[in-house]
Amino acid sequence: MNVIRRLPEREKSPEKCCASKKVKGKYIDPWPSHRYRDGKYIKNTLKTIKVMAYSFVSQEKNKQLKVDINFEAIKNYYEENNKNDIQLTWLGHAAFLLQINGFTILLDPLLHKRASPLKFVGPYRCKERGFKSFADLPAIDLIIITHNHYDHLDRPTIKEIFREKKNKKCQILCPIGIKKWFRRKLLRIPSKQIIEADWWDDLEFAHLPENTNLNDKELVVNAFEEAKQKITISCVPCQHNSGRSIFDQNKTLWCGWVLKSHEHSLYYAGDTGYRSTPNKVPEENIEKYPYCPAFKQIGNIHGPFDLACIPVGPVYPASIISPDHANANDAVNIHIDCKSKHSIAMHWGTVEYLGLDNIKYGPKELREELKKKSIPYEQFHDVYIGEMVYLEKKEEN
């Protein structure tokens, strides 16, 4: 059986690892880098409504993005002669199938059509997910969620996962406040299968013998120490917000995640901004705006990373998008700050009308920013839906 346990709490400080913060019952981003720069709240709101007005259409707009999942490689991961420690398959937007140390994990799986509370309006997924049903995939051991926005926490996808018999014991990791969403009548996922985490919480996920008495703390500790199949998972900060309606804005936390096997480490940045700017800022003036310090803290504590998943977009209009979303320049800075050796671009090319920018925004702009900083494309690049990135097991001495 698979079990999650909490590790000792980490000491927090604004300089080394900033704690999550609530003001009047709502979480906030505790940095100067998260500000709406033009101060025109009504104008920003009207721009947001304009985004929604565009979203009634549902035709596919990004036909250039390839969809091709390597089911054979996914299946062969569990064979004894498999050489890979980590296999990461992009499923579009922020959704990934992660295979790590024998576990199968889904990250922010938006795998149905509409990222909205309504079926007929709102941002929509305009690219196929690449598989017919969850019967085509291995049993899912763990679902990891970064926040409760509709393009990251999708009820139809969660329901479909748990309808599959082999996924009934799947566990869930999510930031503070989201557990009750999974417990509602339409899902009814058992409480013991859902774990909430705060920024900088460290946890272990291990496969223990079925007869392990989980009420015996000493026995559980010994079982974790002896477990060969286990990973460490850490909840880390990001610069964003939360809410599924006007009534629950920022009442639940948002985060990124770090996952470590015996041999490799992966950073999943979640949905995040880096610095907030007004519209149409000259390139030479961008650096005067403060950036989020959390990514350097993550790199200092958990890095360097063998692999990272970093969002690129949406980006327009910057006055309302930039506090919460990274553009290509921001993404490259996050790559540098977190000390990633190899990064994959996500949060682009799949979901239409998250902003007013072209859904194809991402790869071209990313290449341009990498060139400016003399970073090889091989260190930070885009992939197609279904493309697999893998890290091989280290040879035993």
Binding residues: 150, 325
The candidate with the shortest Cα–Cα distance to 142, out of 92, 206, 199, is 206
List the one residue out of 136, 150, 66, 81 whose CA is nearest residue 104: 136
Q: Of 324, 304, 379, 313, which Cα lies nearest the Cα of 347? A: 313
- For 107, list phi and psi in degrees, rounded to 5: -110, 125
Q: Dihedrals φ, ψ of 273, to 5°? A: -95, 175
Report the alpha-carbon distance of residue 268 to residue 260 in Å, rounded.
11
**Run of H or E residues at 145:** none
Encoding tokens for residue 128? 């196929």
Tokens of 18: 């900033």
Under DSSP, the state recorded for 191 is G
Question: In this structure, are residues 7 and 233 in contact, taking their beta carbons and an 8 Å threshold?
Answer: no
- Sign, CA torsion 383/108/62/313: negative
